[in-house]
Each structure stands twice: as structure tokens, then as C-alpha cells.
Amino acid sequence: MQIAPFRVLKVFKGTGMQLLAIIGATLLVAGLLSWRGFSSAPLWKATVTPLASIIGSGFLVLGPILAQAYGAWTPLAMALLCALAYAIGAAIRFNISVRAGTGHDALSARIESLASWALSFAYVISVAYYLNLLGAFAVSLTPWDSQLAGRWVTTVVFLLILIVGWTKGFSALERLEQVSVSLKLAIIAGLLMGLGWYFGGRASEGSLIVSPAKLTGGAAVSLLFGLLVTVQGFETSRYLGAEYDAALRIRAMRLAQGLSTAIYMIYVVLMAYVFVPEQIETSETAIIDMMAVVAPVLPIMLVMAALAAQFSAAVADTSGAGGLVAELTRGRVPVKTGYAALVALGLCLTWFLDVFQIISWASKAFAGYYTLQGAIAVVLARRERRPAGQVVFFALVTALAAAVTLFGVAVE
């Protein structure tokens, strides 16, 4: 069931004060992010990439999925998902530190090579995930809102990315990535302001909703595993070594995960108690109808953020995947061939799977990569004669990531 038949741009209705608060919060954050003294700080510059990756697409789909499945337990589910991501991040941060010091040994180097292959495969699925979300949001406020129309938009954008990659390269699009990060964070600030206003109004009326979880036990855990990709992205700090030293990358990853956890927790707390789970549509664009109830200005803001953010994220991962494959094959597979293979596989995923299935497969793919990073941490911790508790912790992280790979399921 849809919450509201919001498919036209009736934007400037709603309470004037709420609208001013939303726009004010958006402009305030946009101004802060564009202020040179802030945006040029090395720590923030190193933090932006993982932070934007973590909250980029997950913010669009995670709230409705969790609220529908877990009801009043949504904040706990979100906290567990963020805790899992932080634990995996701890293993990767340890690897960054050791690699910058004593470096790899033969075993950890072999596992690192496997991890790079796993990451390149995960990038293929993540690009399909980003562009399928882009397609769905691109048509969501139009008369052509359908899965078929969304897939055609996704197909066109895939081909556009391939053409740009084969002809001019992606350096021309780097500025778009910087702009999209600021736009996305500013719009998230506006959305949180709108949700907070709506939550406060419901609370003052005594009409907050406490719903039981629809999923419990193993099914609840499996769904949470299948959503790992929505908090993925922190590992990008691992690959910024050409720009920042290890200590700064470690601090930036911690900060990115801390900020994203705070944003996600505020988001789900404000959302979980103002909607009845049965009202939430099982759709990748459900957030649009939900936010139309909160404030009619929010849907178009979300669509703007989605289009810019998903396109820039897809370009970044396409570039990363092509570069990784070329590096791993020592140039035997050229970068452009890697782009073509990624687009071909991405189009297959687009036309044979729905967005929720792609999310689940992306979670599994990244979990496979995290499993290998956890194994590297175990090997290096033992070699460095670290305390047994730290070795056991990394072993548990490895086991959890492997469990996500095996048991994560898609939203139904």
C-alpha cells in the first residue's frame, strides 16, 4: 500500500515554518561544506570520500526497509548494522597501519591479491546497484514511473558511462563528484530537519507509533546481513594512500563511520515511530512517498540528491574497477576492456534482477571482500605478536563477514 499518491510536483505546500526550517538546514550545511576553511582541511577532505560512500545510497532505501521489517526495533537493527561495519572497519584500519609499517608478508600479500579481485567484482555489482537506484528515482515523480522505464534509464546511463570512459576518461567528471557530495549531505540535513519537525509534532499529539517487528529470529538476522552494502564504503580510506598518510586515513575512516552512524541513528529513530509498517510500500523509492507525508518539498530534494549521488558513485566505482583489473592483470586486460565488461555485467543484473536482489548480492560481494580483509588482519596480528584478544576479535570479524556472504537475503 502506498502512503500517499504523491506523483506530481506539488512542492510548495505545507507549513511555512517547517519549510523554512528544512531549507535553512539545507543551506546552512551547504554553506559550511563550501566554506574553504572547512572544506580544505586535510582531515575533512580525507573523510568526505568514505562518508559520502557510506551514506550515499543507503540513506535512500534503508529507512523504509528497516521500519517495515523491524518496527519499533528499527534503531536496534540499525545500531547492530553500524556496529558490524565498525568492527570490519577496525580490521581494515589495523591492516592500513601494519602495511604502512612492516608491510605484507608472502601469505598476507596473496590474500590481499584475492581481496582486490573480490573488490573489483563487488564494484561491478555496486555500480548496478547505484544506477538502478538512479533509474528508479529518475522516473519516480513522472507519469512513466515503472520498473521498465527505470531499467531503460539505467541502461542509457550505463552506456553513457561506457562512452565517457572509452573516449574522454572520467577525469572530466571529478568535479561532479565533489559537488554531489556537498549536495547530498546538505539535503540529508534538510531531510533530518523535516523528519525531526514531523516527529516532534506527532510526539506533542501523543500519536507516536510503536509497532512489533514483522521479522524475528534467523529471518531478521539474514535480512540485516543482506543490507550490509548500505553501510559499506568505509574501505575507500584503504585506497587513498597516494593522497594521505596512514594515520590520517585511519582517523578519517573512524570519523566517517562515527558521523554516518550518528546520521543513520537519528534518521531511523525519527522514522521508526511515525509510520505504521503496513503503510510502507516495498519499493526502492518508498522514501519518496514517506517524505511527501512529512513535507511535500522533500521528495524533489531527494530525487535531486539521488540523481547526482548515484551517478557520481557509479562513475567512481567504474573507474576503480577498471583500474583494479588492469593492475591485477598487469595491463593484460586494459582499463577500457574492464569498463566494457563491467557495463555488460551491470546490464545483465539490471534486466534480470530487481533492486533489492542487487542490494543483497552487493552485500554478499562486499562481505566476501571484508572476509579476506579480516583474514589478512588475523595473519598480520599473529605475525606482529599482538595480544590474543585482538587476534580472536579479528577472527570473529572474519567469521561474521563470511556469514554475511553465505546467509544474507534480499528484501521480499
How far apart are alpha carbons 80 and 86 in whole angstroms? 10
Q: Is the pLDDT of residue 14 over 60?
A: no
Instruction: Count Cβ atoms below 10 Å from residue 386 Cβ, excluding itself.
Output: 17
Q: What is the three-class DSSP state of 43? A: helix
Specify the DSSP class assigned to residue 283.
Answer: S
Using a 10 angstrom Cβ sphere, with 0-12 exposed, 13-18 middle and 19 or more buried, the burial of residue 140 is buried
Short-list 284, 346, 339, CA closest to 126: 346
Identify which has the larger pLDDT, 218 or 58. 218
What b/e readout covers 272-293, taking b as 16+ CB neighbours within 10 angstroms?
bbbbebebbbebbbbbbbbbbe
The answer to whether the CB of 256 falls within 8 A of the CB of 234 is yes
Q: Under 8 Å CB-to-CB from 62, ≥6 apart: which residues?
A: 78, 227, 230, 264, 267, 268
Average pLDDT over residues 344-366: 91
Q: What proportion of the chain, given as a percentage, has pLDDT over 70?
A: 93
Could you identify the residue written with the cell 559537488? 179
Q: Predicted confidence band at 177 (pLDDT cuts at 50, 70, 90)? A: low
Q: Is the pLDDT of residue 143 over 50?
A: yes
The answer to whether the CB of 7 falls within 8 A of the CB of 141 is yes
Residue ranges of the domains in the chain? Answer: 16-407
Average pLDDT over residues 201-205: 89
- In Å, the largest CA–CA distance within the chain is 66
Q: Is the dihedral of CA 114, 364, 391, 91 positive or negative?
A: positive
How far apart are alpha carbons 194 and 255 in whole angstroms? 25
pLDDT averaged over the chain? 85
Q: Is the pLDDT of residue 7 over 70?
A: no
How far apart are alpha carbons 248 and 162 in whole angstroms? 34
* Helices 355-383 and 74-101: angle between axes, nearest 10 degrees: 40
Q: Per-residue pLDDT tens for 280-289?
A: 877 888 888 8
Q: Is the pLDDT of residue 243 over 80?
A: no
* Helices 335-352 and 298-328: angle between axes, nearest 10 degrees: 130
Identify which has the larger pLDDT, 267 or 326. 267
The answer to whether the CB of 257 falls within 8 A of the CB of 59 is no
Say what the pLDDT of residue 11 is: 41
Strands (E), 114-266: none
Q: Per-residue pLDDT tens for 34-91?
A: 887 777 788 888 888 788 778 877 888 888 899 999 999 999 999 999 999 999 999 9
CA atoms within 13 A on the CB side of 358: 26
What do you get for the CA distance between the two ends of the chain, in Å? 14
Instruction: Count Cβ atoms below 10 Å from residue 59 Cβ, excluding itself.
Output: 24
Q: Is the pLDDT of residue 273 over 60?
A: yes
Residues counted in the chain: 412
The CA–CA distances, whole Å, from 242 to 40, 76, 152 equal 17, 38, 38
* Helices 246-272 and 74-101: angle between axes, nearest 10 degrees: 180
Cell, residue 83:
556496529
Average pLDDT over residues 192-208: 90
How far apart are alpha carbons 160 and 155 in whole angstroms? 9
- Residue 187's identity, in one-letter code, is I
The answer to whether the CB of 392 falls within 8 A of the CB of 207 is no
Q: Predicted confidence band at 1 (pLDDT cuts at 50, 70, 90)? A: very low
CATH 3.40.605.10 at 16-407, yes or no: no
256: Cα separation from own chain's centroid: 12
How far apart are alpha carbons 68 and 145 in whole angstroms? 22
How far apart are alpha carbons 133 and 275 in whole angstroms? 23
How far apart are alpha carbons 225 and 14 in whole angstroms? 38
Q: Predicted confidence band at 174 (pLDDT cuts at 50, 70, 90)? A: low
Using a 10 angstrom Cβ sphere, with 0-12 exposed, 13-18 middle and 19 or more buried, the burial of residue 116 is middle
Say what the pLDDT of residue 412 is: 62
Average pLDDT over residues 313-327: 77
